[in-house]
Amino acid sequence: MDSASFQFVLFGLFVALLSNLSRARVWRSGVLLLSSFIFLALLAHQPIVFVPLAVFLLLGFGCLKLLERGWSSSLTWSVLSITLIYVWLKKYTFLPESSFLHFPYFTLGLSYIFFRVLHLLIESGGEERNQKVGLGEYLMYTLNFTTLVSGPIQRYDTFAEDQFAADPIPLDAGTIGLQLERIIRGLFKVNVLAMLIDMVRVDALAQLSQPLPASLKLFAAFRLAVAYPFFLYANFSGYIDIVIALARLMRLRLPENFDRPFSASSFLDFWNRWHITLSTWLKTYVYNPLLIAMMRRVTSLEAQPFLGVISFFVTFFLIGIWHGRTSEFAVFGVLQGGGVAINKLWQVWLGKRLGRKGYKALASKPIYVAFGRGLTFSWFAFTLFWFWASWSQIHTTFGSIGAGGWAAIWLAIWLTATVILAAWEQIRAALLSIRTADGPVLTNRYARVIYASALGLAAFVVMALLSQPAPDIVYKAF
Amino acid sequence: MSPEKPSEQNHPLNKKVRKADWVLLPLLAILTVGVIVCSIELTARHLFQESKTTTLNCLVFNDPSTAVKARPNSVCSQKLFESTLTDYHFNSCGHRAGMECGPKPTGTYRIVLTGSSFAEGLWVPREQTFAGLLPGDLSRLTGRKVEVYNEGMQWGTPHSVDLRFDEVLAEKPDMILWTVTPWDVDNASITTPYVATIANGQTTQAPAASDAPAGKVAGIVRRITVAFQRKSIPQAFEDAWSRAVVMPFNETRTSFLLQHFLYKSQSQYLKHYLMQDESGAFLKAQPNENFQGNLKEFDTYAADIAAKAKAAGVPLVVVLLPQRAQAAMISMGEWPSGFDPYKLGEEIRQPVESDGAIYIDVLHGFRTIPNPEQYYFPVDGHIDAGAHAILSRLLAQRLASGVVPGLSSAAQTKPTLKDVK
């Protein structure tokens, strides 16, 4: 149930059906709350495992009530204590092992709950909210089964706007068709596409430790590096497709989490398109306050552009280390932060050298965009080694073909990504340019039915053939 | 207020669905599925064909006193979906030996090979089997003239080998090589396996017990009722799903095509194989009771065979040949916890050596072979010519290492790892 399985989809569709039996706010809220509790109960059967999560949630609610009653001075302490408890419950390795709870307990989705709770606290402490958040609303927002496992991270105001609307958003046949098509697309992405890409990656990883000729090892290294970004995209965005569509069938609009990330022509742009709700959250609550705070202290105009660089580094370093508890993720954070910081520095340097107009002219040149896109993909693929691999796997992998081999591989990946992604953009644009009065032919209702039928069939056949559990959603571990 | 909201209102597909679309769209979906299903099935049927002829026509497999054996001087051919058309010539003693039965030429060291389908070289031309290649490899390593007389036979389980061991001894071997596979251990006592019955040269399946002539609806209702009485609701649904969808689908050539290509992947094949409780039991570090029972049966037959060889004064060499998933795990050098690809080898070695036979290990040799699973037919699971060549070299190395008196490469240069690649 905590993956993109048929069971999860059937559960979601059933809840959506139930939710639509009445448009009344109380009914829809009751269905959401009850289904979220049932969802949790299906994931773990012993009540004791939920105790730490319940305490975490109640603490968050207590802090929220304090802030709502005007104790704004408690905001810092609330945020700090919630963060510390989160870090402790997630067993970050920099804390002493002896301090942890030594019984199995439920942490699935805790990261996403943490973001939601912090968001509520900060918003509540920062400005007056017209409407107070009751316990039921709080639990509905934090435990919503469509966003529990892997997000997306929704703001409370947008959640409340749809969930508690007296007149819920419309749901007609066209919208239902779109959502069903999106669910099928999501199932295909996770259960077929991601599975096939991961197959390539795991096989390539195994080949790197086998006594193969250098040429085959180089090819294996190439496949290994290239496969993971696509796997992660298919796995995560497929799951997000399913939950967004299920929520929409419940008349709840969730924010989008992806916007064609491999079309990004810079690493900064990439993070506007990849895990959008996470980067938006951190930009809102880390980047902006940090930049403003530094600008208040550093008044030199010369230094100001570099404050953005520092803020970007800190923000994306935090994004990196949020992903995991171990030192690999610290390096992943440094590489994410380093990537955006260098990207920003490059923009600052080019802006100074060419002037604003010159920089804009250069940045709009197709060749510059294409190479930027290739480099962005290559850098992201490189950083992901610290995302999926342990130190021993990293040593084995990088030791298998030597520094020279890897230099050649990254150059090849950059050039290949530049050419392939540029070609893809051209083909996509050409295909979408075939239009009727209703819009592009390839996205009309009939075309969608054709490819949804084909993808649905493929997903069904592969799932029936392999009879194995649906692949795990990578981001549920965070 | 927030940049998160998708711009759904302006989506062109949110225009009202026309009346005609309520018919057109489902038809389009059905047509799409129909075209894809038919075209893939036709492609799969074109790519994977099997011969109308079968090796079963050469076999006698319903005599429990001899177990499965070939008719003397028979010739058959068969092409499996994944293999080429292969000929099987059986000599006057019913062996795929590549030579007549009878006394060996003077000065020749004769190995009589026994075992099941791996030994017989099922789906592979005889000259490319390890039985066909081993004489050359061994002669090169030992400097002796070596011949291999092959008595391997499909379904040659330990019980079958035991039943026909007199035939092995009748060939006056200098050494007996018994190749064992995990399948043999799993099916140690079988002598007359159920296969499709042959009528007029055509294979036919035995009628299914459920094909009741009358009361089809009543039968379905009864089966559903019984299923729900015996099993929990999720289990019953799972079984119904399996019977209604998965099993019929598995009969299609599309399913075969997909399995063939998916199982070419080492990781996917392993993942799928290790999920199977029964077939992967021999790879478990703690085998289940059923498999331990099979192992005991194997030990009983192995002890009997070893005693017969000892009484005849012929050295008996036993070797475990790896199954596809096992070879892949050994080659990768890592496997999920709870599994051990070497475990069965040790389980066989101990009783075999205490019975006075010689056990040689080729499993460790697979550690140096990249992706050995590619030398197995992905769906069928038998070894192809590539694996036969590897096995021949590994066997030659082990046999020539001095474990068998009279067959040693002491004077020869020790083979390097390159020899087995």
Distances A391 to A221, A327, A396, B172 between C-alpha atoms, Å: 17, 9, 9, 58
Whether residue B32 contacts residue B22, with contact meaning beta carbons closer than 8 Å, is answered with: no
DSSP A98: G
Contact A444 B13 (CB under 8 A): yes
pLDDT digits (tens, 9 = 90+) for B307-352: 999 999 999 999 999 999 999 999 988 898 899 999 999 999 999 9
- Quote the CA–CA distance of A128 and A125 in Å, as a whole number: 8
Spatial contact of B237 and B342, defined as CB atoms under 8 Å apart = no
* Residue contact B16–A457, C-beta within 8 A: no
Whether A211 contacts chain B with CB within 8 A: yes
Determine the distance in angstroms separating the CA of B61 from the nearest CA of chain A, rounded to an integer: 32
Q: Between the CA of residue B226 and those of B236, B240, B375, what are the distances in Å?
A: 10, 12, 45
d(CA B252, CA B177): 39
State whether CATH 3.40.50.150 applies to domain B55-196+281-420.
Answer: no
Cβ contact (<8 Å) for B33 and A207? Answer: no
Structure tokens at A281: 């959250």
Nearest-angstrom CA–CA distance, A198 and A200:
5
CB A88 within 8 A of CB A95: yes
pLDDT in the model for residue A463: 87
The per-residue pLDDT for B42 is 97
- Alpha-carbon distance of B93 to B148, in angstroms, equals 15
Q: Break chain A into its structural domains and give their ranges.
A: 21-163, 173-258+436-473, 261-432
- CA dihedral A46→A48→A52→A53, nearest 10 degrees, is 30
CB contact under 8 A, B2 and A158: yes
CA torsion angle for A96, A97, A98, A103 (degrees, to 10)?
140
Q: Are A316 and A340 in contact (CB under 8 A)?
A: yes
Residue whose C-alpha is closest to residue B419's, from B120, B59, B133: B133
Q: Among candidates B183, B194, B177, which has minimal Cα distance to B392?
A: B177
Mean pLDDT of B248-254: 90
* Res. B235: pLDDT tops 80: no
Containing A435, the helix (H) or strand (E) segment is: strand A435-436
| Residues 6+ positions from B84 with CB-CB distance below 8 Å | B125
Chain B residue numbers touching A206 (CB-CB < 8 A): 266-267, 332, 371
Please, what sign has the CA dihedral across residues A39, A41, A42, A48?
Answer: positive
Q: pLDDT value at position A326?
A: 86
Long-range contacts from A132-137, C-beta under 8 angstroms, 24+ separation: A132/A68, A133/A64, A133/A68, A135/A61, A136/A29, A136/A33, A137/A29, A137/A164
Q: Which residues of B touch A443 (CB under 8 A)?
A: 12-13
| DSSP-based three-state secondary structure for A436 | strand
Residues 138-167 of A with CB under 8 A from B: 154-155, 157-158, 161
Shortest alpha-carbon distance between residue B91 and chain A (Å)? 42
Q: What is the pLDDT of residue B102?
A: 92
Rounded Cα distance between A333 and A321, Å, is 5
The model's pLDDT over B149-179, given as tens digits with 9 standing for 90+, comes to 999 999 999 999 999 999 999 999 999 999 9
Q: Is the pLDDT of residue B392 over 80?
A: yes
Q: What is the DSSP secondary-structure string of A269-290?
A: HHTTTSSHHHHHHHIIIIIHHH
| Cβ within 8 Å, pair B6-A172 | no
Residue B415 is encoded by which pair of tokens?
A: 């083979």
Question: How many CB atoms within 10 Å of residue B259?
Answer: 17
On average, the pLDDT of chain B sits at 86
Comparison of pLDDT for B12 and B310, the residue scoring more: B310
pLDDT of residue B192: 79
Please state the rounded mean pLDDT for residues B11-26. 80
Q: Does A129 touch chain B (CB under 8 A)?
A: no
Local confidence pLDDT in tens for the 478 residues of chain A:
667 888 999 999 999 999 999 999 999 999 999 999 999 999 998 999 999 999 999 999 999 999 988 887 788 899 999 999 999 999 988 889 899 998 999 999 999 999 999 999 999 876 555 678 999 999 999 999 999 999 899 999 999 999 999 999 999 999 999 999 999 999 999 999 999 999 999 999 999 988 889 999 999 999 999 999 999 999 999 999 999 999 999 999 999 999 999 999 999 999 999 999 999 999 999 999 999 999 999 988 888 889 999 999 999 999 988 888 889 999 999 999 999 999 999 999 999 999 989 999 999 999 999 999 999 999 999 999 999 999 999 998 999 999 999 999 999 999 999 999 999 999 999 999 999 888 899 999 999 999 999 999 999 999 888 877 778 888 877 7
Q: Within 10 Å of residue B282's Cβ, how many Cβ atoms? A: 26
A172 near B CB under 8 A: yes
Pairing of the two strands B146-150 and B86-89: unpaired
d(CA B195, CA A232): 46
As a whole number of Å, the end-to-end CA separation of chain A is 17
Mutual angle of helices A445-466 and B253-262, in 10-degree steps: 70
- Given a cut of 70, whether residue B417 has pLDDT beyond it is no
Q: Which amino acid is at B396?
A: A
Selecting from A158, A175, A202 the residue whose C-beta is nearest the C-beta of B267 gives A202
Q: What gap in Å lies between CA B390 and CA B203, rounded to an integer?
A: 34
Report which residue type is found at A11. F
Q: Read off the pLDDT of each residue in B219-248 and give the average, rounded to a whole number.
A: 73
If you search the block for the tokens 């007029």, which residue do you land on?
A: B200
Q: Which of B282, B277, B358, B289 is nearest to B324 (CA)?
A: B282
Q: What is the structure's pLDDT at B223? A: 66
CA–CA gap between residue B27 and residue B36 (Å, rounded)? 14
State yes or no: pLDDT of B419 exceeds 70.
Answer: no
Instruction: Name the strand (E) or helix (H) holding A177.
Output: helix A173-188
Cα A52 from Cα A59, distance rounded (Å):
10
A448 phi and psi angles, rounded to 5 deg: -65, -40
The pLDDT score that the predictor gives to residue B366 is 94
Q: Which amino acid is at A175?
A: T
For residue B415, pLDDT over 60 is answered with no
Pairwise CA distance, residues A436 & A444, whole Å: 9
Tens digit of pLDDT for each residue in B113-140?
A: 999 999 999 999 999 999 999 999 999 9
Report the chain A residue with the minimal C-alpha distance to residue B23. A446
Place of tokens 């319903």: B62
Which residue stretches of A69-172 are H helix?
75-89, 110-126, 135-143, 156-163
Say how far apart CA B384 and CA B110 lie, in whole Å: 25
Distance CA(B320)–CA(B185), nearest Å, equals: 10
- Report whether pLDDT(B201) > 70: no
Interface test with B, best of A5, A256, A465 (most B CBs within 10 A): A465
Identify which of B146, B161, B139 has the alpha carbon closest to the alpha carbon of residue B104.
B146
User: What integer pLDDT is reported at residue A129 of this predicted model?
Assistant: 57
Query: Which value, in Å, is the radius of gyration of the alpha carbons in chain B?
Result: 26
Burial of residue A443, with CB atoms counted within 10 A of its CB: 0-12 exposed, 13-18 middle, 19 or more buried:
middle
Closest CB to B13 among A445, A450, A464:
A445
Report the pLDDT value the prediction gives residue B10, as an integer from 0 to 100.
Answer: 56
- Chain A, 442 to 461: residues with Cβ < 8 Å from chain B are 443-446, 448-450, 452-454, 457, 461
Q: What does R_g of chain A's alpha carbons equal in angstroms? A: 24
A118 touches chain B (CB under 8 A): no
B4 pLDDT band (50/70/90 cuts)?
Answer: very low
- pLDDT, residue B14, reads 60
CB atoms within 10 A of CB B91: 19
Q: What is the pLDDT of residue A8?
A: 94
| Pairing relationship of beta strands A439-440 and A435-436 according to DSSP bridges | antiparallel
Contact A58, A66 (CB under 8 A): no
3-state secondary structure chain B: CCCCCCCCCCCHHHCCCCCCHHHHHHHHHHHHHHHHHHHHHHHHHHHCCCCCCCHHHHEECCCCCCCCEECCCCEEEECCCCCCCEEEECCCCCCCCCCCCCCCCCCCEEEEEEECHHHHCCCCCHHHCHHHHHHHHHHHHHCCCEEEEECCCCCCCHHHHHHCHHHHHHCCCCEEEEEECHHHHHCCCCCCCCCCEEECCEEECCCCCCCCCCCHHHHHHHHHHHHHHHCCHHHHHHHHHHHHHHHHHHCCHHHHHHHHHHCCCHHHHHHHHHHCCCCCHHHECCCCHHHHHHHHHHHHHHHHHHHHHHHHCCCEEEEECCCHHHHHHHHHCCCCCCECCCHHHHHHHHHHHHCCCEEECCHHHHHHCCCHHHHECCCCCCECHHHHHHHHHHHHHHHCEEEECCEECCCCCCCCHHHHC
B316 DSSP β-pair partners? B176
